Amino acid sequence: MVVTIITKMHFLREMLRQTFLVNNIGVATDESGSQPVDRVGPETTPTLVLVDSSHPEGFAHLAKVRTLFPTIAVVVLAVTDQDEDFLAWADFGISGYIEPDTSTDQLVATIHRAAAGEVVCPPRLTSLLLKRFTTHSQSRAARGGIHDLTTREQEVLELLAEGLCNKRIARRLKIAESTVKNHVHSILEKCDVRSRGEAAAAYRRSNPEPVRPNRDAGSAARMLGPMNKPGGFSVRDTRAATGFIGQQR
């Protein structure tokens, strides 16, 4: 195995060199620092690149490495424990991440595992990465699903977000209630959500402007108007209001 070390800190480079040589790991560097990757001969083609996270041109060097050796493993040696630093390197597609408190034995083990094709990451950072991946996946799924809806499905979703039931949506769009049900089913599948409420929430996230209020709410107010009149509700008023409220459920 041959490792290329990318760091500007001379003492760190020498410490790593000695550690690797003791553990029968070759180092593709010269005495003055990290040997340019494009000058590494075929006999010393690196198996893995170990990059110091504090290197000001670390990403640029790795981009060049990936151009020359697309499948090479990359391990980052962190000098801080900042989550933001880890996430930035993770986006690059690294094979391993070594935190500052890692022992020499753990470092060597990580190098061997990464060179063998494993992805090595401390448990705390693995959890952080999974949470971030889940959040981004859900966000992309919701946005992508809404953008994949047909014009009619978008109209149904907008009315659904206003709080209308299937019957009211059918009346508003002048289509059959069964057709509305089919559209709602398709909306749930495309947006990868399980309920009308989740679909409405996804719609609101993708449309920051307030959803128009349910225009049928005025009908409810008119139904309940007699409560404020002298004499209160009649039996007919009660039945009418109850029927309206039932339709909204």
Q: Which fold does the domain 2-121 belong to in CATH?
A: Rossmann fold (3.40.50)
Tokens (6 digits) for 7:
């760091």
* 123-219 has CATH 1.50.10.100 classification: no
Tokens (6 digits) for 40:
């590494």
Tokens (6 digits) for 64:
């060049």
- For strands 26-27 and 2-6, give the pairing: parallel
Tens of pLDDT along the chain (249 residues) come to 899 898 889 899 999 999 999 999 998 864 334 444 444 444 557 889 999 988 888 888 888 887 888 889 999 999 887 777 887 788 778 899 999 999 999 999 999 999 999 999 888 887 777 776 666 555 555 555 677 788 898 899 999 888 899 999 999 999 998 889 988 988 888 888 888 888 888 887 777 554 454 444 444 444 344 444 444 444 444 344 444 334 444
pLDDT for residue 148: 79
Tokens (6 digits) for 109:
């083990």
Residue listed under structure tokens 């002048």: 174
> What are the residue boundaries of the structural domains of the chain, listed by start?
2-121, 123-219
pLDDT for residue 209: 55
